[in-house]
Structure formats: structure tokens, C-alpha cells
């Protein structure tokens, strides 16, 4: 009998601790409760799944768990910030709104309040990279220092560019004669325009590297123009005749020859 009672008490304690630790708001609320003796009053909407009310009461286990370390560093927190690729080249300032738990001075209850931070995102950051804002995380308990805030950088989807770390990739469509004969094309990059020289005899899929024109950094990334060849539609008689002339000129060309006899 006594063993069953102990087991029930132990089970209850574990359940309480788990409920608090798994819920960031409840955990933050406990973190915010100050010196020992200060009462924690959760808002009424917190009832789901765990009773913070007076009648049931929490065991001393939770209180001892959180009051044992009076001075405790605040938790590190995380948020994601989306910027444009172009802003990674120049750096940008962002206003970030965070929802953080805070004690209402009038009611003594913990409420989620909005906190606005103006952050300078330096140039050269790429998607997936983190920016650490020291002391901007959750407040510490007692004399404990505040935690840090980590901002993960993400890029808005871009119609023209895609990235891999600091390298930037873009498609560069060419007409068949531009690829065969070579040409110089003006191309808009995230940081301005450049003229790209396409060597004669280029083929689809070839990548032209513009060294150091990717996202800035030490070292900077590269920008790759991935060539593709677009066939013009033949509509007019002159255009159709041009294809006929090509067919005569390339009479021995078989585009299926790499298939080693699978066709024809």
C-alpha cells in the first residue's frame, strides 16, 4: 500500500515537471517568478492539461526545482528573419517583434507581451546562418544574466537567383546561335549589372563562374550563370526555311546518337 502511494506521488511530480518543462510559456513563467515566496498566478486560459489552480495545488517538488537555483541565466531564444538576397549584399536593418512572457505589475500575472527589437543584419550573411544578440534572450532569474537571442537568417524566394551558402546561382538562357558563336550579354546581378562573355561553343548546362560575385564574406561566394539554350519557334515561312537550311547543313547530326541504338 505504501509503495503504491509513493508511486502515485512520484508519478504526479514527474507529470508536473514535464508539463512545465514542455510548455515554453509555463517554463518562462516559472523563470520569471522572482525571489522565493513570490506567488505565481497563471492566467485562467492556462487550464488545459495542467491545473495551476489553488484547490489541487502543486507539490513542493516544482517549487524546490525552480527555487533551488535562485540566480539562473535566462534561456537562449531563437527567431527566424527573412531578408532579400540583395540585402545580404548590403546589410539591412530589421524591426523584429517577439512575443515574450512578462509579469503584469497590476495583476501579478504572466502575460505574453510584444517586444520590438531593431537589429542590424550585417552584409555577408547567408541562409541558415545565425546572428547572436547577447543578452537579448529570456531574462535571468535573480542575479542571473539574460540569455542570448539567436536569429536564423532566411532568404525570400527569388525568381532569378538561388543560393547555396555564399554561392549564388542563376539561369542564363541563350539562343542557339549565341551559344555556338559566343556573345557578350548584360546580366543583372544582386549588386548591379555586368557584361558576361559567353564563349563560342557553349552547351546547355555549362556553368560560368563569376569569382567573388556571390554573397560577400571572407572569402566571398561565387556567382554561377547556368547556361540553357532556348529554341525559337518557327512561325513565318522565312523562319521555317531557316530550320530547313540548318537541317541540310547538319545532315550528319543525330541528337540520339548518345542513346547507343536504343532508338532508330
Partner 1 sequence: MNNILAGSVIEEENCLTFVELCAASNASEEHVISWVIEGALEPVGDTPEDWQFPGHALRRTRLAMSFACHLEINPPGVALALDLLDQIAVLKARLRRTGCHSFAGHR
User: Residues in the site for partner 1, rule: CB under 8 A?
Assistant: 22, 73, 75-76, 78, 93, 116-120, 122, 124-125, 127-134, 136, 147-152, 154-155, 157-158, 162-165, 169, 171, 205, 207, 224, 226, 228
Assign 197 to helix, strand or coil. Answer: strand
CB of 263 vs partner 1, minimal distance in Å:
24
Rank residues 163 and 202 by Cβ distance to partner 1 and give the closer one. Answer: 163
Least distance between partner 1 and beta carbon 166 (Å): 9
Within 13 A of 18's CA, how many CA atoms are on the CB side? 7
DSSP conformation letters of 61-90: HHHHHHHS-SSBPPPPEEEEEEE-HHHHHH
- Nearest distance, CB of residue 33 and partner 1, angstroms: 19
Q: Which is nearer to partner 1, 47 or 122 (CB)?
A: 122
CB of 206 to partner 1, least distance (A): 11
Q: In 3-state terms, what secondary structure has residue 54?
A: coil
* Closest CB to partner 1 among residues 123, 183: 123
Q: Provide the pairing of β-strand 77-83 with 149-155.
A: parallel
Nearest approach in angstroms of CB 78 to partner 1 is 7
Q: Is the CB of 52 or the CB of 155 nearer to partner 1?
A: 155
* Ramachandran category for residue 236: left, alpha or beta (phi over 0 → left; psi -120 to 50 → alpha): beta
Q: Is the Cα torsion angle 21, 26, 29, 33 positive or negative in sign?
A: negative
**Residue 165 vs 234, nearer CB to partner 1:** 165
Measured between alpha carbons, how far is 134 from 150 in angstroms, rounded to an integer? 9
Closest CA to 222 of 208, 240, 237: 208
| Residue pair 36/70 in contact by the 8 Å Cβ criterion | yes
Cβ proximity to partner 1, 43 vs 226, nearer residue:
226
Residue with Cβ nearer partner 1 (97 or 262): 97
What distances in angstroms separate CA 213 from CA 120, 155, 156, 163, 184, one per listed residue? 23, 17, 19, 12, 18
245: CB partners within 8 A, 6+ apart: none
Amino acid at each position: 500500500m505504501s509503495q503504491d502511494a509513493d508511486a502515485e506521488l512520484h508519478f504526479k511530480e514527474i507529470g508536473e515537471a514535464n508539463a512545465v518543462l514542455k510548455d515554453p510559456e509555463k517554463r518562462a513563467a516559472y523563470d520569471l517568478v522572482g525571489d522565493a515566496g513570490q506567488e505565481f498566478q497563471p492566467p485562467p486560459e492556462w487550464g488545459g492539461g495542467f491545473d495551476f489552480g489553488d484547490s489541487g495545488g502543486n507539490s513542493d517538488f516544482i517549487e524546490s526545482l525552480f527555487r533551488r537555483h535562485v540566480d539562473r541565466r535566462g534561456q537562449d531564444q531563437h527567431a527566424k528573419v527573412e531578408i532579400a538576397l540583395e540585402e545580404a549584399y548590403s546589410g539591412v536593418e530589421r524591426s523584429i517583434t517577439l512575443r515574450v512572457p512578462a509579469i503584469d505589475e497590476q495583476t501579478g500575472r504572466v502575460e505574453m507581451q510584444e517586444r520590438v527589437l531593431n537589429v542590424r543584419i550585417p552584409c555577408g550573411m547567408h541562409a541558415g546562418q545565425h546572428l547572436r544578440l547577447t543578452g537579448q534572450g529570456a531574462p535571468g532569474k535573480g542575479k542571473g544574466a539574460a540569455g542570448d537571442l539567436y536569429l536564423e537568417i532566411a532568404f525570400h524566394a527569388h525568381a532569378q537567383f538561388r543560393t547555396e551558402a555564399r554561392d549564388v546561382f542563376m539561369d542564363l538562357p541563350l539562343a542557339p546561335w549565341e551559344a555556338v558563336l559566343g556573345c557578350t550579354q548584360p546580366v543583372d546581378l544582386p549588386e548591379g549589372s555586368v557584361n558576361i562573355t559567353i564563349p563560342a561553343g557553349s552547351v546547355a548546362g555549362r556553368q560560368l563562374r563569376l569569382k567573388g560575385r556571390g554573397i560577400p564574406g571572407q572569402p566571398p561566394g561565387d556567382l554561377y550563370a547556368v547556361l540553357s539554350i532556348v529554341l525559337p519557334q518557327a512561325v513565318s515561312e522565312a523562319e521555317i526555311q531557316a530550320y530547313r537550311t540548318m537541317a541540310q547543313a547538319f545532315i550528319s547530326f543525330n541528337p540520339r546518337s548518345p542513346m547507343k541504338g536504343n532508338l532508330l
